[in-house]
Amino acid sequence: MQTLTYEETVTAIENKRRFGNLKGVEISKIMLEQLGHPEKDLRIIHIAGTNGKGSVSAFLRSVFECAGLKTGMFTSPHLVDFRERIQVQGDMISKEDTMRLGNRLLSMDFGVYPTMFDYCLAMALLYFKEQQCDVVILETGLGGTYDSTNACGVPDVTVIAKIGFDHMAILGDTLAKIAAEKAGIIKHGTALVLESQEKEAMDVLKQAAERADIKTTKVVNWDEIKILPQKDGKQCFSYAGYDAVTMKMLGVHQYENAVAAMLAAELFFEKYFAGKKNVPELKALQHAIREGIDRTQWMGRMELVSNDPFFLMDGAHNSNGVEALKKSLETMYPDEKFHFIMGVMADKDYGEMIRELLPLALDFKTVTVESERALQGEALADCIRAKGIPAEAYQKLADVLPDFSKSSAEKTVAFGSLYFIGEIEAFLRGKQ
């Protein structure tokens, strides 16, 4: 096979089918077997959930780096650069390593039809093993039971973030069915962290934990999170023995994501340092947790791009995400109304997403996301106008974004598909 350039390698991987001829977990098991099981001996934290798993991953990465552990992180999708998916110590995999590992994988005949996600996961695991990572954070792509990441054995810690309605055609049309798919990553031998859930989902998760005979389960208790006044523009909270923890991450939903990461980090440290001679003092590990939460940044999630003119963007791509966005805007900017910019996929519950934000909306500008799955901007604008709010479809991002050279008291919020947020990120990088 001819050696592909970096650009050709990424294009070849991105053009692979979205769904394979087998379940993702089955394809990845076959691939990892033929690759010599690069996942073996990796210390893994496995994270699933409808919303919040990316934020939990980012919090954990920062905490572990502050604790001095070499940390690999696998997330999806990427917003601007393909290499965002595979990071070590917060640095993206190099173009050279992407090309080298990509060519190796693309040249192999696995006897199955891997998807883009399967290739990305295999590349990540090979890279993390080469880099001798102390800990690897794996974020599921879709669901849990049949997700490609579920081929990676029993993780040290498993985290289930918020579960809501998304990908219902694949995962099921009730919270119980969706939770059952997410619960598929709960395996005997792992320690478990659960974010608070609707009772229907929590019952399923707890039953799965009982079947797997999980010895250690920690559930985030919202009632124990004490939200404090902001400090220097950072959100601040106390939880259990951690007083006045600060974080750059914005949004009311981030308190629970941060606590889930804190609990997961504590459980991982217990396992990682068990039996080791040089064990950091508890105070040092708690300091790493506090410092890691404080330092965390995550592109496109409640990201305040500009204060004047005010422009915030958030990858709220389903009704649960938009509900969290609404609560955050109401809490942070009480009695304010916003100009919204929206771009979504056609398979999302966009009617419910719009309904959530109507009380806060001055108007909407809609854009067609660059994806074959995208809802056309004009159809989205029609849907919004039918609900009695002004809306207009635009072809170019330049026509919907604020003029950053001019001061303005009005507030603009862009939200929707992560691909859409990625398009805005790429545009702003090119402009600024």
Domains identified in the chain and CATH numbers: 4-293 (3.40.1190.10), 301-429 (3.90.190.20)
Q: Are the C-beta atoms of residues 265 and 63 closer than 8 Å to each other?
A: yes
Question: In the predicted model, is pLDDT for residue 335 greater than 90?
Answer: yes
State the Cα–Cα distance between residues 258 and 237, nearest whole angstrom.
10
Question: In the predicted model, is pLDDT for residue 376 greater than 90?
Answer: yes
Q: Look at residue 191 in the predicted model and tell me its pLDDT.
A: 98
pLDDT digits (tens, 9 = 90+) for 363-372: 999 999 988 8
DSSP letters along 133-175, please?
-SEEEEE-SS-STT-GGGGS---SEEEE-B--S-SHHHH-SSH
pLDDT digits (tens, 9 = 90+) for 143-191: 899 999 999 999 999 999 999 876 555 565 788 999 999 999 999 999 9
Q: Look at residue 1 in the predicted model and tell me its pLDDT.
A: 63
What does the mean pLDDT of the chain come to? 93
Q: Look at residue 216 in the predicted model and tell me its pLDDT.
A: 95
**What are the C-alpha distances in Å from 424 to residues 194, 284, 321, 337, 363?**
33, 39, 19, 22, 19
- Residue 74 banded pLDDT, cuts 50, 70, 90: very high
Question: In the predicted model, is pLDDT for residue 72 greater than 80?
Answer: yes
**Strand intervals (E) in 117-261:** 135-139, 157-160, 191-194, 217-219, 226-231, 234-239, 242-247
pLDDT digits (tens, 9 = 90+) for 109-128: 999 999 999 999 999 999 99
Q: Are the C-beta atoms of residues 305 and 312 closer than 8 Å to each other?
A: yes
Residue 387 corresponds to which amino acid?
Answer: K
Q: Look at residue 172 in the predicted model and tell me its pLDDT.
A: 57
The answer, yes or no, to whether the previous bond of 309 is cis (omega within 30 of 0) is yes
Question: In the predicted model, is pLDDT for residue 392 greater than 70?
Answer: yes
DSSP letters along 57-93, please?
HHHHHHHHHHTT--EEEE-S--SS-GGGGEEETTEEP
Helix or strand or coil: residue 20? coil
Q: What is the mean pLDDT of residues 12-24?
A: 85
Q: What is the mean pLDDT of residues 34-63?
A: 96
**What are the C-alpha distances in Å from 338 to residues 243, 286, 311, 322, 421?**
34, 39, 10, 14, 18
Cβ count near 271 (within 10 Å):
14
Query: Cα–Cα–Cα angle for 189, 206, 245, nearest 5°?
Result: 80
Q: Are the C-beta atoms of residues 143 and 171 closer than 8 Å to each other?
A: yes
Q: What percent of the chain has pLDDT over 70?
A: 97
Question: In the predicted model, is pLDDT for residue 379 greater than 80?
Answer: yes
Adjacent-strand bridge partners of 192: 158, 217
Question: In the predicted model, is pLDDT for residue 277 greater than 60?
Answer: yes
Q: Look at residue 367 in the predicted model and tell me its pLDDT.
A: 96
Which of 17 and 209 is assigned the larger pLDDT? 209
Q: Look at residue 298 in the predicted model and tell me its pLDDT.
A: 86
Chain centroid offset of residue 13 CA: 21
Residue 52 backbone class (left: φ over 0; alpha: ψ -120 to 50; beta: rest): left
Q: What is the mean pLDDT of residues 381-398?
A: 95
